[in-house]
């Protein structure tokens, strides 16, 4: 009985010694096998940790870049809004400018027509001989029609030559001349058509 117990005790000691050696070998005191186990443990726990640290740093860098890009995007959007407002203002300004130019052109045209009418009528009056007179004058932007009497052909010819001296008149055309009795006098009844310049202001260099 005593011998059997001794063997059992020795077996337990042997098992205990083996476990102790395994622990010592794992902790680095057991040679190459212990180092291999240590490296294996470091790889198992260290690689995920290093990967986590790398991903965390990379994610932080990406978040920083995204924040910077968002700031740049907001800046660009503000600049775009400002440019759009400028474009809208420019369009409105161009429209107002076009309206003003139209009004100016209308005023110029009206001024030209009035000036042409005033100068034409004043010139016709200045060129009328003493022995000629008008019974009708019809003014249009492009022509003037004259009806009247002259006591002779010489007086009528003098009137035509005088009218032809005006640079505003493109042409002076006698449409009709005939001898009639007017208030018991034999006179020449005439019709004259005068063609006018289209733009008096340009003609005069204004």
**pLDDT tens digits, one per residue of 138-182:** 999 889 999 999 999 999 999 999 999 998 899 999 999 999 998
- Indicate if the pLDDT at residue 11 is higher than 60: no
Average pLDDT over residues 98-108: 88
Average pLDDT over the chain, rounded to whole? 79
R_g of the chain computed on alpha carbons: 58
The answer to whether 180 and 187 are in contact (CB under 8 A) is yes
3-state DSSP percent of the chain in helix, strand and coil, to 5? 65, 20, 10
pLDDT band at 200 (very low <50, low <70, confident <90, very high): low
Which pLDDT score, from 0 to 100, does residue 60 have? 78
Note the CATH number of domain 53-206.
3.30.1360.100
pTM recorded for the entire structure = 0.49
The residues spanned by each domain of the chain are 53-206
Quote the CA–CA distance of 187 and 21 in Å, as a whole number: 157
Which pLDDT score, from 0 to 100, does residue 12 have? 46
- Indicate if the pLDDT at residue 184 is higher than 50: yes
pLDDT band at 62 (very low <50, low <70, confident <90, very high): confident
31: left (phi over 0), alpha (psi -120 to 50) or beta: left
User: pLDDT tens-digit profile of 111-137?
Assistant: 878 888 888 999 999 999 999 999 999
């Amino acid at each position: 009985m005593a011998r059997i117990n001794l063997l059992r005790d020795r077996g337990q000691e042997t098992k205990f010694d083996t476990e102790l050696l395994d622990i010592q070998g794992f902790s680095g005191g057991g040679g190459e096998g212990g180092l291999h186990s240590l490296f294996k443990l470091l790889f198992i726990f260290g690689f995920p940790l290093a990967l986590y640290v790398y991903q965390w740093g990379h994610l932080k860098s990406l978040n920083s870049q995204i924040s910077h890009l968002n700031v740049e995007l907001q800046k660009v959007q503000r600049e775009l809004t400002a440019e759009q407002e400028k474009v809208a203002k420019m369009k409105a300004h161009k429209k107002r400018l076009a309206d003003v130019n139209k009004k100016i052109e209308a005023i110029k045209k009206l001024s030209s027509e009035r000036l042409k009418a005033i100068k034409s009528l004043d010139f016709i009056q200045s060129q009328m001989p003493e022995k000629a007179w008008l019974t009708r004058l019809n003014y249009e932007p492009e022509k003037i029609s004259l009806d009247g009497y002259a006591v002779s052909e010489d007086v009528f010819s003098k009137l035509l030559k005088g009218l032809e001296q005006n640079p505003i008149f493109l042409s002076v055309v006698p449409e009709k001349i005939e001898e009639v009795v007017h208030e018991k006098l034999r006179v020449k009844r005439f019709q004259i058509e005068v063609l006018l310049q289209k733009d008096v202001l340009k003609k005069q260099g204004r």
